[in-house]
Amino acid sequence: MQNFAKPNLLYRFLVVISFVGISACASQPPQARPVGPSESSFSNPGTLPTETTSRTSEYLLDIGTTVAFLDSCISDSGLVGPCHCAAELLAYDVDSSDLAALEDRMGAFNEFPVELAGLLVQCRGVERPPVWSSATKENYLAACAQNSERLLDLCRCSASRAADVIPEERLPEFLEADDLRPSMVDLINTCL
């Protein structure tokens, strides 16, 4: 009779353990999981809709980051051609926050980070970009002077620095953008 009681006890024990395990799993709240790129986050009413940013430019880096990077790179080095080349290479390898960190390190410590130094070596000997066309320069001067004869001379002076730090094909983006560093005022201040 004792041999018969041991398997019966074992079955009861397994039933109790199974019941406890099922109860414990059923009482846990559902775990949050990240929404995949192909899934819509709107199916869960507890989440905010995903942000969709529309690209305002065909370029990977926004105009503010590009101009800030070129300004920092060219500052006191005279490496206009290699800096433009490095900016083009960086546009395909890093995102804006990485580039902003490089720019901050250059501005704060006045040194070229190792990553940028490698790109500048790779771009060694690259000529400065072509001079702005007369139409581009006139667009810059018109936006800068805003029909003020007093500002016209300062704007003419600042045009050479602007041509160094603003790629010609991106001047319309620069003129439309707000809160840039360097801004139009910063470029004019280089002539004071």
Residue with the bigger pLDDT between 154 and 18: it is 154
Most confident of 4-8, 37-41, 185-189: 185-189
**For the chain, how many residues are written?**
192
In this prediction, residues 85-89 reach a mean pLDDT of 87
How much is the pLDDT for 157? 94
Say yes or no to pLDDT of 40 above 50: no
Q: Where are the alpha helices (DSSP H) in the chain?
A: 2-27, 63-74, 80-90, 96-109, 114-122, 134-145, 149-165, 171-176, 184-189
Question: Would you place residue 4 in the very low, low, confident or very high pLDDT band (cuts 50, 70, 90)?
Answer: low
Kindly report whether the peptide bond that precedes residue 182 is cis, defined as omega within 30 degrees of 0: yes
pLDDT averaged over the chain? 75
Q: How far apart are CA 98 and CA 103, in angstroms?
A: 9
- pTM of structure: 0.62
Domain ranges of the chain: 63-122, 134-189
Each residue of 49-82: pLDDT tens digit? 444 444 445 666 778 888 888 888 888 567 899 9
Residue with the bigger pLDDT between 157 and 78: it is 157
How much is the pLDDT for 97? 73
Say yes or no to pLDDT of 31 above 70: no
In this prediction, residues 136-164 reach a mean pLDDT of 94
Each residue of 96-115: pLDDT tens digit? 677 677 667 766 666 667 77
Torsion sign (Cα): 65, 66, 69, 70? negative
